[in-house]
Structure 1
Amino acid sequence: MTQQLLQQLVEMRGIETQYVDAWGKPATIAESSKAKLLNTLGYDTSSDEKIQSQIAQDIQSVWLSVLNPVQVIRSHETINLAVRLPIELVNDEHVFKITLENGETIAHSFIPVDQEMTTMAHIDDVEFHEYVVTLPLDLPLGYHDVALTADGDQLGTSRIIVAPQACYTPDEIKAGKKIWGLSVQLYCVRSEKNWGIGDFTDLGLLIQKAAGLGADFIGLNPIHALYPANPNACSPYGPSSRRWLNYLYIDVTAIEGYDDKSVQTIVDSDEFKTTLAHARNVEHVDYEAVTQIKLAALKAVFDVYDAKYLSTNTKQNKAFKAFVESGGDSLDMLAVYDALQSHLKVQGKESWGWPVFPQELKDYHNPAVAKFKKANAQEVKFYLFLQWIAAQQLQDASDKATEAGMTIGLYRDLAVGVSEGSAEIWGNKDLYCTGASVGAPPDILGPLGQNWGLPPMDPRKLYEQAYQPIIDLFASNMASSGSLRIDHVMALLRLWWVVKGDNAKDGGYIYYPVDDLLGILALESHRNQSLVIGEDLGTVPEEIRSKLADNGVYSYRVFFFEQAEDGGFFSPSHYPVQSMSTLTTHDMPTLIGYWHCLDLELGKALGLYPTEEILQTLYADRHENKQAILDTLHGHSSIADNVGRDVNFTGMTRELNNGMQIHMAGGSSALLSLQLEDWLEMDKPVNIPGTFDEYPNWRRKLTQNIESMFERHDINELASKLTQARKQASHK
């Protein structure tokens, strides 16, 4: 009986027991994994009685909810709302009061018994009926509140989200324009003025320089908020909050008040100058040094700005207060978290994240946290100020893209989750399942599977919260940009959950309400005029690829992964138009690194390959792939005859490097993204998947300042050829 009951609960909670793996073979998750996943979702699976009782409770809670918490429909679709009522109410007149987003109200009266009844149930000896009520309304796009009343009593509330059919695409791209842009890890950028890490002023300069050469976008790594008190937790894909920004990207010198004597005394000190010189000159970003000087200067600037503007009735104070108010609990929670973590660190207490905070401080909603916030109001205000300034400086950079006439401008990147010790989880514990982590099943790149250390959202809790956390995520990450790349876009359909303590291969897929999430994505995409790119690499079910395409989401095509069964590489002219193509990504070697097998050499040194046999197989595969690439490039006349045809005698040269990029530019993808590292012919990767502290991930800087980079003749010539190739591709 247990397995049967367990399976019923598994199906109710959207746990997928069978899937197709990366090799196209059917795979089944273990029975033990099913029970563990249910335990992580809060179920006790120790006996038939307990499982049966919890199934009954779940069913009962649905019947006792008069309305569903939320319903997402597409524009011009019929609005059908489910209503569940005890039998004694079904002959009474009921009224739906719909409050539109603009404040307008609409009422619709009905008698339940006159509607279509779909099902019935007995709960505690009371008979309940479920009806479907059709609203004869054509609601505008947006978020609308619904209240159900009878005899003046409110029986339930809900939300209707009306979404467009598909995500937004700029008119020029719709008309066939093919564009190119540069992808950059902002922290890698060197400039003559930054403080050892790329900043928003550098971004503005990069936009202006790249736009002058024909680029139509600059793609960023995630710029999510990290941990001011824990600077070495620097992965952009393991943030503290995905709604807010990394304050390290603030250009301190651009804030009013920087020139004040009190600030200049700090930045002119010998200790500050020594640390600044070190931060600028080292090969890798020294996050501790950068944090030390930036926080010291930012606190001094804040004191000046606060005294001048934020303590009296100024227009600056009104703007600051409006920003804080619109940020709501999410912003307050981050600022309080940053102040609290800093305090604990100063006191010498363990402070890497909320799981090690003192018990009374482990939850944002605890009274002790409110007491801390009140006692440390000025420091909390400082962290709010940092988010306000960061948002302004990002917007200034985005405005430069608009002024330069870029088709897209900035494109931002939304990470798939937040790290376990994050402020985002600290403030919404109900939503996250901290007993599990997001990852991936075994695939070609990760034969043992992957565990990313990011606790997943509980899909049911997300639904019960009327999808507000997802709405906020999409909206905030589309701000100040023209496009959003969604990392691991399959998360909209399903996520591979790995229970704490288990191997990644022993996880299982849990499904999410993909159609609802895509509807919200489309709505926010139109509101923010943001094109959406979905990173659809790895184990991707066909159902999601076609669904994403139908919803206007652009696919992600990486040249090295676009291989036919015979080992040959597909021509980029065969890629879908509705896609962004690229040669490499932040998880891959640079072109030089790939061609000279430096990534395999590095992997061996770091102990990433269990056996010499596996490594030799990778070398052999690489050798064959490089020959196939040369065949492809020569076959399409993308490189000149003087570039060798035999891989045994052909190393990576500037001509081959540029030829590969121009080969991509002639393709059919609407967007082409190129890496600045390959323009600078760099050999080291920015990140090596599967490593933690074995390699300086997320720290390696570019080898040249952006000011001098764009003065190089070879770079200008490459950009000109890319622009020309994209124009020709637009007319094919």
Structure 2
Amino acid sequence: MKVSLTDQLAELRGIESNYIDAWGKPMEVASQSKHRILEAMGYDLQDETGLQQQLAQESQQVWLEPLDPVMVKRQDEKVVIALRLPIELVNDEMILRLDTEQGDASEQRFIPSDGELIDATHIEDGEFQEYLVDVNLSTDLGYHQLRLLADDNDEIASMRLIIAPQACYKPDAIQRGEKIWGLSVQLYCLRTEKNWGIGDFSDLCYLLDKASDQGAQFIGLNPIHALYPANPESCSPYGPSSRRWLNFIYLDVTAIEGFDHPEIQQWFNSAEVQGRLSHLRSVDYVDYQGVTALKLEALNLLFGHYHQQYLNGNTRQHRAFQEFVEAGGDSLQTLACYDALQEHLKHQGKEHWGWPVFPKALQEYPLPAVKKFAKANNERITFYLFLQWQAAMQLEQAHQVAQDKKMCIGIYRDLAVGVSEGSAEIWGNRALYATDASVGAPPDILGPLGQDWGLPPMDPRQLFRQQYQPVIDLFRSNMQSCGALRIDHVMALLRLWWVPKGNTAKQGSYVYYPVDDLLGILALESQRNQVLVIGEDLGTVPEEIRQTLATNGVYSYRVFFFEQAKDGGFYSPSHYPEQSMATLTTHDMPTLTGYWHCLDLELGKQLDLYPSDEILQELYDTRHQNKQRILDTLHGHGSVPDWMGRYVQDVGMSKELNHGLQLHMATGSSALLSLQLEDWLEMEKPVNVPGTSSEYPNWQRKLTQTLESVFSSEALQGLARGLTERRQQAAEGE
């Protein structure tokens, strides 16, 4: 059967035609979905002649580039490059020069035609041949430049050569077989007696200090990526503006040098400000508008004095600030300029939610009008640079607390799978993103209708052409000031579910990425920063990729409620892989109380998340059966008291059942155990309901108690002791 040009192109660009869904059924991708994805990649499928010309130009461009932009190899792996040259040059002697990251240089003379001929073609510029050439130059780990020189040393081409380790970093304690536990929190949810209505970096310091005293070895955070100061209602940590930088809202303003200035203290102690603070602390959901407005007022005052006192002269503070700005490079300048521009448009009363609604002359960072704006608004941009500097320092202070307490991991950060459509990250690098598509998921157990997350995907070909620098920057920046990094939807390293604009979440397809290259870069950055990597591998996951991740030292993510055998029983945590992090619930799931009392199903019905009453009833029936199996498991392992009922219809959620579930997990074989602070507090409401946006106040629900009261609770101190004891017993039992 003849394969159409578009089907050939879809295969060439890594668009999947078939896949296995979450229920193990083979699924075929509709032609319309593949066509729409190709259009999002920049192909005009309505004009076949034009399409053929475009493909010919792309092919010609490849032949005109003697070397690929980048190559990733593992340590001790043989380096063989593909070299494309005009036929009249293939018998000339040439030089390969390797300039290493460490500053060393070495050379190799060769004749291209001595290599293995693998391809040849004729294009407008003449005859070309492609050879495989062995590179016989020794390399250490790192990012190097391989240059192709003519015999007279003129440079013909160059490529980035990345030499990566075999696997990601593991802390010594984990390698020795220790088993640890920690708490996962949404940082904004934290209540304390001193914060301004949202958790902040000082709260994180307090949490690390107190949790470590109870035996915890880490605190897991939601993504703390930069959001939108001028649009505070866009509060999802998984839809950021930039994943390289931090959300200024987590600043503890009172901890910034200069907060004790008399003018700032007068403002802070005024009845009006204290009244606003009292309100922001008391409400059960984070008031992002109110918190952002109050913090920006304070920060504007503070920055005015700080700038005048420190940033106008040769001070220690000014030198440190300049070093931070220089190290941040274009990425940091892009974000600061974007924040200032968005704020400017807001003050003018113009649409400002993101670059797609900016005036045309301002829709990309490199445009002349943007440079003009930046020059005219230099001080305001400096203000936003200052906020990033202060945030980085406060996060590092929290990391230092963990180190001082000798926590095995300390902070573990979370890397979101993408940025939102109106983000600074896309504004600064439009070519990298397919903005006519978004990332999501096909129908699965968590989302029967599929999911569309509204996050434009990176184009794999553009990522390759940019020498993988965007992902290098992402991994490196998110491994700062922490001991572990959780990669949300780690399957993105292999494939992403693209949903073209205008299609439903079901009408998408998987697009493949260079997984071996990306895992190599991840391993290199992990080893350099000494950060353990956890991959959130839930949903529709091919089994072979789990093995690939494991081989690369990435820790699996095992959720108790998803670890079911074919007969419906729940696997004992003692059967989980050692190279994994176990947990009971996640931010996308109900709390333990919510799960046990089916509050999530009740809420889903209210929010119209289920296609039919029949499907909802099936979910209720399945939940009842699962709860019975869980109760059987807990009794079978002695994880709950004998007096507790053995039939689920007689057993409601209680402190004993709640603690029993957590202690049951602590006996498991996973190296890491993460428990939600919400479940320590026996909370009912979820922090996020997948598949909703404005229907539910996602990412806003606070904890029901202050941290001070959490760590003064004798019951929770007892739970912590039990967790530590069982983790030690699990390690000794192996």
- Tell me the TM-score normalized by structure 1: 0.99
Residue equivalent to 2:407: 406
Instruction: Please state if 1:632 is matched with 2:633.
Output: yes
Instruction: For residues 617-648 of structure 1, give each alpha carbon's deviation from its aligned partner in whole angstroms, at most 9, with x where no partner exists.
Output: 21111111110000000011111101111111
The answer as to whether partners of 1:190 and 1:701 remain within 8 angstroms in 2 is yes
User: 1:115 offset after TM fit, Å?
Assistant: 2.0
AA matched with 2:148: L
**Residue correspondence of structure 1 range 152-551 to structure 2 within 5 A:** 152-551=153-552
In 2: Cα distance, 1:443 partner to 1:600 partner: 16
The answer as to whether partners of 2:98 and 2:137 remain within 8 angstroms in 1 is no
Deviates more, 1:203-212 or 1:136-145: 136-145
Residue equivalent to 1:74: 74
Instruction: For residues 401-437 of structure 1, give each alpha carbon's deviation from its aligned partner in whole angstroms, at most 9, with x where no partner exists.
Output: 0110111110000000000000000000000000000
Instruction: Please state if 1:117 is matched with 2:117.
Output: yes
In 2: Cα distance, 1:154 partner to 1:693 partner: 56
SS of residue matched to 1:165: coil
In 2: Cα distance, 1:49 partner to 1:605 partner: 51
AA matched with 1:90: V
User: 1:611 offset after TM fit, Å?
Assistant: 2.5
Residue equivalent to 1:39: 39
Instruction: Please state if 1:98 is matched with 2:98.
Output: yes
User: 1:3 offset after TM fit, Å?
Assistant: 4.6
The answer as to whether partners of 1:438 and 1:496 remain within 8 angstroms in 2 is yes
The answer as to whether partners of 1:459 and 1:512 remain within 8 angstroms in 2 is yes
User: 1:2 offset after TM fit, Å?
Assistant: 8.6
Q: Aligned residues: percent identity?
A: 65
Instruction: Please state if 1:695 is matched with 2:678.
Output: no
The answer as to whether partners of 1:679 and 1:715 remain within 8 angstroms in 2 is yes
**Residue correspondence of structure 1 range 12-51 to structure 2 within 5 A:** 12-51=12-51
Q: Which runs of 5+ in 2 are unaligned?
A: none
AA matched with 2:322: K
Call closer, same or farther: CA 1:601–1:104 in 2, change over 3 Å: same
Instruction: Please state if 1:148 is matched with 2:148.
Output: yes
In 2: Cα distance, 1:610 partner to 1:37 partner: 26
SS of residue matched to 1:476: helix
Residue equivalent to 1:554: 555
Deviates more, 1:511-520 or 1:46-55: 46-55
In 2: Cα distance, 1:23 partner to 1:704 partner: 39
AA matched with 2:660: G
User: 1:125 offset after TM fit, Å?
Assistant: 6.2
Instruction: For residues 414-462 of structure 1, give each alpha carbon's deviation from its aligned partner in whole angstroms, at most 9, with x where no partner exists.
Output: 0000000000000000000000000011112222211000000000000
Residue equivalent to 1:586: 587
Deviates more, 1:615-624 or 1:190-199: 615-624
Instruction: For residues 14-71 of structure 1, give each alpha carbon's deviation from its aligned partner in whole angstroms, at most 9, with x where no partner exists.
Output: 1111111111111111111121111110111124433332332222111111100000
AA matched with 1:268: N
User: 1:580 offset after TM fit, Å?
Assistant: 0.3
AA matched with 1:114: D
The answer as to whether partners of 2:108 and 2:137 remain within 8 angstroms in 1 is no
In 2: Cα distance, 1:397 partner to 1:47 partner: 57
AA matched with 1:686: V
SS of residue matched to 1:506: coil
Instruction: Please state if 1:55 is matched with 2:55.
Output: yes
Q: Which runs of 5+ in 1 are unaligned?
A: none
AA matched with 2:110: F
SS of residue matched to 1:134: strand
SS of residue matched to 2:333: helix
In 2: Cα distance, 1:489 partner to 1:380 partner: 34
In 1: Cα distance, 2:654 partner to 2:443 partner: 35
AA matched with 1:88: E
AA matched with 2:726: A
In 1: Cα distance, 2:28 partner to 2:59 partner: 27
In 2: Cα distance, 1:254 partner to 1:616 partner: 52
In 1: Cα distance, 2:74 partner to 2:237 partner: 33
In 1: Cα distance, 2:645 partner to 2:470 partner: 54
SS of residue matched to 2:684: coil
In 2: Cα distance, 1:371 partner to 1:126 partner: 44
The answer as to whether partners of 1:82 and 1:131 remain within 8 angstroms in 2 is yes
In 1: Cα distance, 2:99 partner to 2:506 partner: 47
SS of residue matched to 1:16: coil
The answer as to whether partners of 1:5 and 1:51 remain within 8 angstroms in 2 is no
AA matched with 2:639: S
Instruction: For residues 202-251 of structure 1, give each alpha carbon's deviation from its aligned partner in whole angstroms, at most 9, with x where no partner exists.
Output: 00010000000100100000000000000010000000000000000000
Residue equivalent to 2:678: 677
Instruction: For residues 171-197 of structure 1, give each alpha carbon's deviation from its aligned partner in whole angstroms, at most 9, with x where no partner exists.
Output: 111111100000000000011110000
Instruction: For residues 501-552 of structure 1, give each alpha carbon's deviation from its aligned partner in whole angstroms, at most 9, with x where no partner exists.
Output: 1111111111000000000000000011000000000010112111101100
Residue equivalent to 2:727: 726
In 2: Cα distance, 1:391 partner to 1:3 partner: 53
Call closer, same or farther: CA 1:624–1:303 in 2, change over 3 Å: same
AA matched with 2:189: C
SS of residue matched to 1:344: helix
User: 1:670 offset after TM fit, Å?
Assistant: 0.4
AA matched with 2:691: G
User: 1:605 offset after TM fit, Å?
Assistant: 1.9
User: 1:8 offset after TM fit, Å?
Assistant: 1.6
The answer as to whether partners of 1:492 and 1:512 remain within 8 angstroms in 2 is yes
In 1: Cα distance, 2:168 partner to 2:114 partner: 38
AA matched with 1:475: R
Instruction: For residues 632-669 of structure 1, give each alpha carbon's deviation from its aligned partner in whole angstroms, at most 9, with x where no partner exists.
Output: 00011111101111111111110110000000000000
AA matched with 2:23: W
The answer as to whether partners of 1:436 and 1:456 remain within 8 angstroms in 2 is yes
User: 1:310 offset after TM fit, Å?
Assistant: 1.0
User: 1:578 offset after TM fit, Å?
Assistant: 0.5
In 2: Cα distance, 1:546 partner to 1:15 partner: 23
In 2: Cα distance, 1:213 partner to 1:92 partner: 69
The answer as to whether partners of 1:2 and 1:48 remain within 8 angstroms in 2 is no
SS of residue matched to 2:548: helix
Instruction: For residues 118-148 of structure 1, give each alpha carbon's deviation from its aligned partner in whole angstroms, at most 9, with x where no partner exists.
Output: 2211122622111122122221100001221
The answer as to whether partners of 1:2 and 1:47 remain within 8 angstroms in 2 is no
In 2: Cα distance, 1:588 partner to 1:115 partner: 56
Instruction: For residues 664-709 of structure 1, give each alpha carbon's deviation from its aligned partner in whole angstroms, at most 9, with x where no partner exists.
Output: 0000000000011111111111111111111111011111111121
Deviates more, 1:119-128 or 1:647-656: 119-128
In 2: Cα distance, 1:179 partner to 1:494 partner: 31
Call closer, same or farther: CA 1:65–1:125 in 2, change over 3 Å: closer
- Tell me the TM-score normalized by structure 2: 0.98
The answer as to whether partners of 2:197 and 2:277 remain within 8 angstroms in 1 is yes
Residue equivalent to 1:10: 10
Deviates more, 1:543-552 or 1:48-57: 48-57
AA matched with 1:193: K
Call closer, same or farther: CA 1:609–1:543 in 2, change over 3 Å: same
Q: CA RMSD in A?
A: 1.1
In 2: Cα distance, 1:255 partner to 1:516 partner: 41
Residue equivalent to 1:575: 576
Instruction: For residues 258-301 of structure 1, give each alpha carbon's deviation from its aligned partner in whole angstroms, at most 9, with x where no partner exists.
Output: 00012123212332222111111101100011001100101111
User: 1:371 offset after TM fit, Å?
Assistant: 0.6
SS of residue matched to 1:15: coil
SS of residue matched to 1:65: coil
Instruction: Please state if 1:616 is matched with 2:609.
Output: no
The answer as to whether partners of 1:495 and 1:510 remain within 8 angstroms in 2 is yes
SS of residue matched to 1:540: coil
AA matched with 2:474: L
The answer as to whether partners of 2:226 and 2:241 remain within 8 angstroms in 1 is yes
